[in-house]
Amino acid sequence: MADSPDETIEESSEVAEVPEPEMFGCPMTDSRGQLVLHVDRDRYLDVAKQLADEGYAMCVDLTAVDYSEHMERALPSSATAERFEVVVNLLDITHRRRIRLRVQVPEGDAKVATLFDLHPGTEAMEREVFDMFGIEFDGHPDPSRILMPEDWNGYPLRKDFQVGTIPVQFKGAAS
Amino acid sequence: MTLISDEGAQELRPRSELTASELLREVASVLRLSEAEAAKLGDLPEDPDEDQTMVINMGPSHPSTHGVLRLMLELQGETVLRCKPIIGYLHTGMEKTGEQLTFMQGGTNVTRMDYASPLNNELVFSMATEKLLGIDGDIPERAQWMRMLLSELNRMSSHLLFMATNGMDLGAVSMMIYGWREREEVLRFFQKVTGLRMNHNFVRPGGLAADLPPGWRDDVLRILDMLPERLEEYDTLMTGQPIWRERLQGVGVITPSEALALGATGPILRSTGVEWDLRRHDPYLRYDEVEFDLIVGSYGDAFDRYAIRLNEIRESMRIVRQILDLMPEGDYRIQDKKVTPPPRARIDESMEALIHHFKIFTEGFKVPEGEVYVAIESPRGEIGCYIASDGSPTPYRMHVRAPSFVNIQCLPHMMRGGLVADAVAVISSVDPVLGEVDR
């Protein structure tokens, strides 16, 4: 399978100038030939802004993973593994390259800054992450559930929300 | 704070109940642009008198909403002032289901997301799995070309469905029959190849489920010979018609910067003049070996989106013709014992093959730890699959970046200031598949 984005990433001069795996002071790793940047939660918005200036002007995808059953995953030494991880895929259509941000979000304070002011297209995606994982996005204009009913209890994509163990919840139905 | 219904924060609330900043948010969420961006636009309508506006509910069961999309519209007369799409009526937790199914079974799940282009969904899932397995470079040539053939035919069937529904939404009801008639021809081919009209589970990690049936070339040629004439009928019926043009031109306009900011991809992005097609700019399969043109619009209106899809059918036919010439002989799946079950005939004669077959279908195959995001061009835009694996036979997390889910954010922006009648045209031109929006 031809995989030219990776080739263009390797060929781009900007990465060649920085041989050590680091970008904007954040550790950078390679996942199956894809560029991954492990960003600190405090610097997340800042790094996203810098990347947008670098050309990564489009946020194609924003999602999250609940790693509570897989805490021993491979991470660079400077990153601490937390329960949640917000994963952002950015695209640079001018240079045809992609980069992925992974942000560690602790369970006790599941909150990250919103990308809405930078990439308005993350509006629905951040709502979905809030809906499914209970991660709050600080400054999001409409922090409400998007897919589940408004009065739903729990966050379905969390690993402790087991399939089949929750009685079907419907508005107005006798429980 | 009183609410109109029990939908809570999802509701459009009366203006009198909103603080200034909330109103700005709501009006800005009409644009789905940031406050700073919205302020720059400067043409926000004057705060109308509350008596002159009304909030109406369109959907979730409305023929032109393509499924179960609900729109809250604030109207002044016939003009749409604010609009808010409310989704989730078709949410079945497919990403959660994806965590329970093995990589082997995952295809049955993803294929049901965008039910108008199931093969593209399977393809992106399979490609992500293969990338995790590290076998993405070893897929046999014939499998690659077969995937391309099916993917392009699927693009045609999906766009033909768009032609049908778009016509129906705008009152060209006979178009509905014509579009479905042509789509059915393509689906008949799919049925012959995969056994099913939709939800095929035919593209699998490692290759495909089976080889092409005998006589497939004639079937494809028959479709290719039939379609150009039919597409010309569409031109006569719609493209050149003054009524059709009046109905679509200048409706639902979106600019390139707005489309990029909102994350729109596919025909919506291309209608604004941005050349971006993953088949061309991030080639997967063997798209770099075939010749085709990118169809790009210039006004970003509903007519451009219609014309792009119509001409993409023609380009897909061009690609399919080249695939017919270039289709190599060979294996349709990788002969990697890890992911490929043994052929049926061997099961009768070899106990190892039987055990292998049993293990692969009960346990699935283990996929090395890691995470990967793979994106391809579906008829609706960039469909991406993000899989995180913890080394077990099921994905630890399987996320699909659904193009319709993101594209639907453009609706409020495209509708603002338009007429209710145009709202129908706008929804139709975005071509959302609600199964994919809600997953």
Q: Is A29 within a domain?
A: yes
Contact B372 A121 (CB under 8 A): no
Question: Is the CB of residue B380 less than 8 Å from the CB of residue B403?
Answer: yes
Contact B139 A132 (CB under 8 A): no
Q: What is the ipTM of this complex?
A: 0.83
* Residue linked to tokens 């989106």: B305
pLDDT at B5 over 50: no
CA dist., res. B42 & res. A63, Å (int): 33
pLDDT at B127 over 90: yes
- Size of chain B, expressed as the number of residues it contains: 439
CA dist., res. B107 & res. B150, Å (int): 15
State how far residue B227 is from chain A, nearest Cα, in angstroms.
Answer: 31
pLDDT at A1 over 50: no
* Residue linked to tokens 């689906």: B187
pLDDT at B36 over 60: no
Contact B408 A124 (CB under 8 A): yes
Quick one: pLDDT at residue B3? 37
Quick one: pLDDT at residue B46? 55
Q: Would you list the domain boundaries of chain B?
A: 8-86, 94-334+366-438
What is the token pair recorded at B133?
């397995």
Q: Is A94 within a domain?
A: yes
DSSP helix/strand/coil, A26? strand
pLDDT at B45 over 60: no
Rounded to 5 degrees, what are φ and ψ at B394?
Answer: -110, 150
Contact B96 A156 (CB under 8 A): yes
According to CATH, the topology of domain B94-334+366-438 is Cytochrome-c3 Hydrogenase; chain B (1.10.645)
pLDDT at B212 over 60: yes
DSSP helix/strand/coil, B295? coil
Contact A4 B405 (CB under 8 A): no
Can you tell me the mean pLDDT for B333-361?
Answer: 84
B residues 20..59 contacting A (CB < 8 A):
25, 28-29, 31-37
Nearest to A123 among B32, B139, B264 (CB): B32
Quick one: pLDDT at residue B38? 53
Can you tell me the mean pLDDT for B235-252?
Answer: 88
Quick one: pLDDT at residue B31? 42
CA dist., res. B51 & res. B140, Å (int): 67
Burial B178-197 (b: 16+ CB within 10 A, else e): bbbebbebbbebbeebbeeb
Q: Is A13 within a domain?
A: no
Query: How many other CB atoms are there within 10 angstroms of residue A11's CB atom?
Result: 12
CA dist., res. A111 & res. A134, Å (int): 9
CA dist., res. B269 & res. B389, Å (int): 32
Can you tell me the mean pLDDT for A145-171?
Answer: 78
Quick one: pLDDT at residue B65? 67
Nearest to A89 among B31, B384, B439 (CB): B384
- Tens digits of per-residue pLDDT, B134-145? 888 889 999 999
Question: Is the CB of residue A123 less than 8 Å from the CB of residue A116?
Answer: yes
Quick one: pLDDT at residue B218? 92
The overall average pLDDT reported for chain B is 84
Can you tell me the mean pLDDT for B389-416?
Answer: 89
Contact A151 B8 (CB under 8 A): yes
- Tens digits of per-residue pLDDT, A26-55? 888 888 888 898 888 888 888 998 888 888
Quick one: pLDDT at residue B188? 92
Q: Specify the amino acid at residue B58.
A: M
Which of B37-41, B267-271, B333-337, B357-361 has the lowest average pLDDT?
B37-41
Strands (E), B253-339: none
What is the token pair recorded at B401?
């970046």
Quick one: pLDDT at residue B319? 93
Can you tell me the mean pLDDT for B177-205?
Answer: 91
Question: Is the CB of residue B22 less than 8 Å from the CB of residue A141?
Answer: no
CA dist., res. B408 & res. B434, Å (int): 10
- Tens digits of per-residue pLDDT, A84-104? 999 999 999 888 899 999 999
A residues 78..107 contacting B (CB < 8 A):
87, 89, 93, 96, 98, 100
Report how many Cβ contacts below 8 Å link chain A to chain B: 158
pLDDT at B33 over 70: no
- Tens digits of per-residue pLDDT, A123-151? 889 989 998 999 998 888 778 888 888 77
What is the token pair recorded at B163?
């032609």
Question: Is the CB of residue B130 less than 8 Å from the CB of residue B123?
Answer: no
Contact B32 A171 (CB under 8 A): no
* Residue linked to tokens 């994350």: B263
What is the token pair recorded at A134?
């209970």
Task: State how many domains chain A has.
Answer: 1
DSSP 3-state percent helix, strand, coil across chain A (nearest 5): 20, 25, 50
The burial class, CB within 10 Å (0-12 / 13-18 / 19+), for B205 is buried
CA dist., res. A13 & res. A15, Å (int): 6
* Residues 6+ positions from B345 with CB-CB distance below 8 Å: none
Question: Among B205, B223, B234, which Cα is nearest to B155's?
Answer: B223
List of chain A residues whose C-beta atoms are within 8 Å of the C-beta of residue B20: none
- Tens digits of per-residue pLDDT, B14-26? 666 666 556 555 5
Quick one: pLDDT at residue A87? 93
Burial B329-364 (b: 16+ CB within 10 A, else e): eeebbbebeebbbbeeeebeeeeebeebbeebeeeb
Quick one: pLDDT at residue B153? 93
Quick one: pLDDT at residue B262? 86
DSSP helix/strand/coil, A23? strand
Band (pLDDT 50/70/90 cuts) for residue A81 is confident
Who has greater pLDDT, B122 or A144?
B122
Q: Specify the amino acid at residue B150.
A: L
List of chain A residues whose C-beta atoms are within 8 Å of the C-beta of residue B10: 144-146, 150
State how far residue B427 is from chain A, nearest Cα, in angstroms.
Answer: 17
B residues 248..287 contacting A (CB < 8 A):
260-265, 274, 276, 281-286
A73 touches B: beta carbon within 8 Å? yes
Contact B397 A171 (CB under 8 A): no
Contact A1 B284 (CB under 8 A): yes
Question: Among B201, B217, B220, which Cα is nearest to B209's?
Answer: B201
Strand-pairing partners, residue B333, are B207
* Sign of the Cα pseudo-torsion (A69, A70, A72, A75, in order): negative
CA dist., res. B255 & res. B21, Å (int): 26
B136 touches A: beta carbon within 8 Å? yes
A120 touches B: beta carbon within 8 Å? yes
DSSP helix/strand/coil, A106? coil
Contact B36 A117 (CB under 8 A): yes
Who has greater pLDDT, B4 or B84?
B84
Contact B396 A150 (CB under 8 A): no
Q: Specify the amino acid at residue B390.
A: D
Q: Which domain holds residue A75?
A: 22-138
DSSP characters for B414-426? Answer: HHTTSBHHHHHHH
CA dist., res. B34 & res. B408, Å (int): 17
A residues 18..37 contacting B (CB < 8 A):
31-32, 34, 36
DSSP helix/strand/coil, B378? strand
* Residues 6+ positions from B218 with CB-CB distance below 8 Å: none
The burial class, CB within 10 Å (0-12 / 13-18 / 19+), for A79 is middle
pLDDT at B12 over 70: no
A125 touches B: beta carbon within 8 Å? yes
Question: Among B384, B388, B391, which Cα is nearest to B371's?
Answer: B388
* Sign of the Cα pseudo-torsion (B19, B25, B27, B30, in order): negative
Most confident of A3-17, A141-155, B332-346, B366-380: B366-380
* Residues 6+ positions from B16 with CB-CB distance below 8 Å: B50
Rounded to 5 degrees, what are φ and ψ at A130?
Answer: -60, -45
* Residue linked to tokens 């009801």: B173
Quick one: pLDDT at residue A167? 64
Can you tell me the mean pLDDT for B264-293?
Answer: 90
* CATH number reported for the structural domain that contains residue A27 in this entry: 3.30.460.80
Question: Among B32, B25, B33, B82, which Cα is nearest to B57's?
Answer: B82
Contact B373 A98 (CB under 8 A): yes
Among all residues of chain A, which has the CA nearest to that of B381?
A60
Contact B281 A96 (CB under 8 A): yes
